[in-house]
Structure 1
């Protein structure tokens, strides 16, 4: 693994790389509260055949981390990663969690940059918003989003060596992989950037979370612009309690060339829990 700094519009972004130049490129986009190093096990498993590139996205690590919420809109996040791709287009793009939102954004709004789209436990905006607006199980599972959006949440989550942040993500899922050197690496990144930038992703998002049992009207979405035309692989850890199966129902209407692969012994953190199975699913599909 190699680490470098790339300047995008004069702003620094940390980039991790695995594999050799000249191999097919996979741009790997992490979610919250992770960073580019979250891809290490999956990327290492693929590095004999692919050139894997994993940035610390805006607000993470030593990458550009502006203070204003308005600097974390999807268009700006997609713009960052479009600049990372640059003249290498088109490339394979893979996203997890919030990184999936950016990956979908690239595939939908900058399709010339994306040859194939891979998502691991991430959601397309239409099925996800539909599920969160319904007031049912996904609305209940997504209540943490409202807590994260609250003023001062970054300070509360950072207190006591990030104790509340760790409790938030281990309450209903297996965080046993967050131990030893890996936990130290994550905390080092959180200390480096602070949590404000990464939480601003939630604050800048227009997604609406209904109260449980109180459905709300679906917002108007430009459905004709929210389609993935390239081949699309969805890898899913079946034990995810933050993103429920209903959050991907109807995805085929927006991604006609869709393949689904289930990882039954993993949850939202499948990149750490089952990296070899994730890598094998990617290999099989790309082959």
Structure 2
């Protein structure tokens, strides 16, 4: 399985490492990775989908081989959406495409999925373990008023978000993280051995903290009404240690054509159950060809 690699310049002069997989004549599918990952995390999924799609992956800014922004504000959702726009314009031109994303890749992709300018190009979106922050803020407010147990359940799962706001603690911890240690974390979470590991984990973990610092407080304190411009499939991981499945209950309010499937897995199901996740992505996308 070979990829063509190229560099794409963003509108603020960052450099994104982009990989193109498969036959350009097939339907286009863009995959956006989460934190603390890089685009390599998608390779088990790509193996399952390369016969059906022309696949585009990229290291988001601050991850993998892509460049490192200097300022926290450079990680804002608005800029991340412009990055996706830069990638698809460079490699797909005006071709329509499907989108699937995991974790922070999913959070940032919601910014594009709710932008009118993508309406005529984006065919479908499969979201995995990454709600729209605006939607999550509305959900948290409602739960605090009506169901405080759900509110505090998600708050407990999200303890690391507060820790990531501390200036020195989180970057220092990631500096000492080794790939074999990260492999053990994934094995414990997914209850499966020999999962692909991230050899760039220390750098990806350290620099990706900017995603949290640039976006969580503004979006959770001042949520916007954001409506999806395409059909959306939520792949819900029932044992997710970081995102409560209940957060998905908010999505139908903001998505006209909404689908939900459930998987008995933890947060990194894209590594532990790639065949099943790929099947859901494939079947959903091909409905809208």
Q: Tell me the TM-score normalized by structure 1.
A: 0.84
Work out the number of aligned pairs and report it: 269
Q: Hey, what does 1:123 align to over in structure 2?
A: 131
Q: Hey, what does 2:277 align to over in structure 1?
A: 278
Q: Does 1:150 align with 2:153?
A: no
Please report the RMSD computed on the Cα atoms of aligned residues, expressed in angstroms.
Answer: 2.5
Sort the Cα spacing of 1:243 and 1:82 in 2 relative to 1 into closer, same or farther, 3 A. Answer: same
Say which of 39, 42, 49 aligns to 2:42: 39
| TM alignment of 1:241-252, pairs within 5 A | 241-252=241-252
Unmatched tracts of structure 1, length 5 or more: 210-217
Q: Hey, what does 1:102 align to over in structure 2?
A: 108
Which stretch of the first structure deviates more once superposed, 72-81 or 130-139? 130-139
Q: Distance in 1 between matches of 2:179 and 2:50?
A: 32
After superposition, what is the alpha-carbon deviation per residue over 1:164-209, rounded to whole angstroms, capped at 9, x for unaligned? 8678x55972264565xx33xx12x235x45442111011013479
Q: Hey, what does 1:232 align to over in structure 2?
A: 232
Sort the Cα spacing of 1:101 and 1:232 in 2 relative to 1 into closer, same or farther, 3 A. Answer: same
Q: Distance in 1 between matches of 2:281 and 2:216?
A: 31
Q: Provide the secondary structure at the position in 2 that maps to 1:236.
A: strand
| TM alignment of 1:4-153, pairs within 5 A | 4-9=5-10, 10-86=13-89, 87-109=93-115, 110-112=117-119, 113-132=121-140, 134=144, 135-152=151-168, 153=170
Sort the Cα spacing of 1:251 and 1:207 in 2 relative to 1 into closer, same or farther, 3 A. Answer: farther
8 Å Cα contact 2:129/2:237 also seen in 1 = yes
Displacement of 1:108 after TM fit? 0.6
8 Å Cα contact 2:37/2:204 also seen in 1 = no
Displacement of 1:61 after TM fit? 1.4
Sort the Cα spacing of 1:160 and 1:98 in 2 relative to 1 into closer, same or farther, 3 A. Answer: closer
Sort the Cα spacing of 1:11 and 1:166 in 2 relative to 1 into closer, same or farther, 3 A. Answer: same
Displacement of 1:43 after TM fit? 1.4
Q: Does 1:190 align with 2:197?
A: no
Displacement of 1:220 after TM fit? 3.7
Q: Hey, what does 1:205 align to over in structure 2?
A: 215
8 Å Cα contact 1:74/1:205 also seen in 2 = yes
Q: Provide the secondary structure at the position in 2 that maps to 1:200.
A: helix
Displacement of 1:156 after TM fit? 1.5
Q: Provide the secondary structure at the position in 2 that maps to 1:92.
A: strand
Would you identify which runs of 4 or more consecutive aligned residues in structure 1 move more than 3 Å? 130-135, 162-167, 169-172, 175-179, 193-196, 206-209
Which stretch of the first structure deviates more once superposed, 123-132 or 156-165? 156-165
Q: Hey, what does 1:212 align to over in structure 2?
A: none
Q: Distance in 2 between matches of 1:202 and 1:11?
A: 19
Q: Tell me the TM-score normalized by structure 2.
A: 0.84
Sort the Cα spacing of 1:107 and 1:89 in 2 relative to 1 into closer, same or farther, 3 A. Answer: farther
Q: Distance in 1 between matches of 2:207 and 2:61?
A: 7
